[in-house]
Amino acid sequence: MVDSLRSILELLEELNARCKTPIISRNEFKEEYENLNDFTQLQPQISELIHDIKELDVKNIDLIVEKLIHLHLKLSDCIWHIDQIHELVKRACAI
């Protein structure tokens, strides 16, 4: 997924450079490339949470709920990262 998002950013950057008036600033691209670094850290964190949840005693409801909340937050982070790039794609459609 990270490779796909990076490819999308590269494509948008290339298209943006061909525009007479760029739609997306260099700073926005820089920020999204930096965000990809954060995104790469989410996969191992999610995998660890899934592993932890599988190992929990099903009777320990409080801990299961706590871990599920953490999983929810990590998934929300993933969605945010994808949505940021999606917003750039939508803006590029106006080219």
Give tens-digit pLDDT for 29-48.
Answer: 999 999 999 999 999 999 99
| pLDDT over threshold 70, residue 95 | no
Note the pLDDT of residue 43: 95
DSSP assignment of 26-62? HHHHHHHHHHHHHHHHHHHHHHHHHHHHHHS-TT-HH
Contacts of 68 (CB under 8 A, 6+ apart): 53
Q: What is the mean pLDDT of residues 2-11?
A: 96
| pLDDT over threshold 80, residue 18 | yes
Q: Which helix (H) or strand (E) holds 15?
A: helix 2-18
Note the pLDDT of residue 94: 76
Structure confidence by residue, pLDDT tens digits, 47-81 = 999 999 999 999 999 999 999 999 999 999 999 99
**Residue 75: C-alpha distances to residues 15, 60, 81, 91 (Å):** 30, 23, 10, 24
Residues 16 and 92: beta-carbon distance below 8 Å: yes
